[in-house]
Structure 1
């Protein structure tokens, strides 16, 4: 039983392990990391081990739908040059989607509700996009700091603004995902606790407990939608940043 809406985000050590002053314990966060990764690998194995069929099975339809969705996302946002980055985008989307959805299961753990996790993901994406930009354009990549046609008198201010804006990409991706997942789970927990407290009362208040329960039920469907939407937003922004790095838009 959780006594605070924020206790559901507590990191719990499952297998303690210390090496000197370093702490490498296997936690609930690491466990659900593995579950998120293993869940989709298991789903894919149901399709590819036996081979696809002309009339797709339900599992095959799910995998094909996700695959086609990411393919269209990459082709629309990046173009032909983004084909070689498809495995990365596909892995990122499926991991975020399953991490968010698994977190909706009662008494599970949402890895994407911790800023250290989402920031690490967004920072890695930011570093990767920067390296791809330099690999593709060399030092000419710095030209994105000065919009074409801008007056030279405004160049110092524009360069600083564009540089700060570019650097904040590595933060905004993680903050957006973390804030939405944590806020949604906290709200569901608060309303659930309120409805449970009303059930312990008597008379009219006990009957009125059905109202917050209905709200929680509706909110759960909304949170599932948010979980899918946030995985999509993180992925499409990654594709947009990748497109900027390749084409200098």
Structure 2
């Protein structure tokens, strides 16, 4: 059983890497790729099995992207889908006692949050130019300070919300497994079911907030009004 907060590190080229987080991240990516392959290896007009599950998920996310970002944001649908699948798999991976979630490491959640926020600003400048920069100075130039603080807070709140919830869930599962006798599995099963629910909700919240931030960068001004 893994120990929460204790991580094996390796040093390379003067840098320190969390080996466990790296392995779990690659395992998560492998699982997502495997699910995608299973869903697309034998496509049918009437979907079944994995194809049916993934098509339902893709259809739902496409609807969310279209409603939140407008037509100009549809090109981000593959990114949003990949982000949600990665988060969902990561959050659930730690429910296996011998494994840990990549998202119980602040480095992972902060990296994902920074990726989203940087992408927001890059797309905003690319698609809206000076108009995007100008909105930070509205309604008056002094508001640029408040807007700057808000932008700094976005990756912090995104990352800590996901990190805290996943870490707490894994800690409680390990405590329950150690404290509950083998003949009293019901509390552990109930908490495991709740953790599965929380993992799904946290993946959903992170993805929805990411889409809301990206919508500010890609949505047409007339669509925002």
Give the TM-score normalised by the residue count of structure 2. 0.88
What displacement does 1:22 show?
A: 4.0
Among 132, 135, 153, the alignment partner of 1:168 is 153
Aligned to 1:141: 132
What displacement does 1:224 show?
A: 0.3
Structure 1, unpaired ranges of 5+: 200-208
Aligned to 2:170: 185
**Alpha-carbon distance between aligned partners in 2 of 1:23 and 1:177, rounded to the nearest angstrom:** 23
Among 180, 187, 203, the alignment partner of 1:231 is 203
**Alpha-carbon distance between aligned partners in 2 of 1:54 and 1:132, rounded to the nearest angstrom:** 36
Aligned to 2:56: 65
Structure 2, unpaired ranges of 5+: none
Matched, 1:83 2:96: no
Give the TM-score normalised by the residue count of structure 1. 0.80
RMSD: 2.3
When Rg is computed on C-alpha atoms for both structures, the one with the higher figure is 1
What displacement does 1:221 show?
A: 0.6
Matched, 1:124 2:124: no
Q: Is the 8 A contact 1:146 1:159 kept in 2?
A: yes
Among 28, 34, 37, the alignment partner of 1:42 is 34
1 or 2 for the larger relative contact order (CA 8 Å, sep ≥6)?
2
Q: 187-196 or 34-43, which moves further after superposition?
A: 187-196
How many pairs were matched up?
A: 221
What displacement does 1:48 show?
A: 2.0
What displacement does 1:162 show?
A: 2.0
What displacement does 1:146 show?
A: 4.1
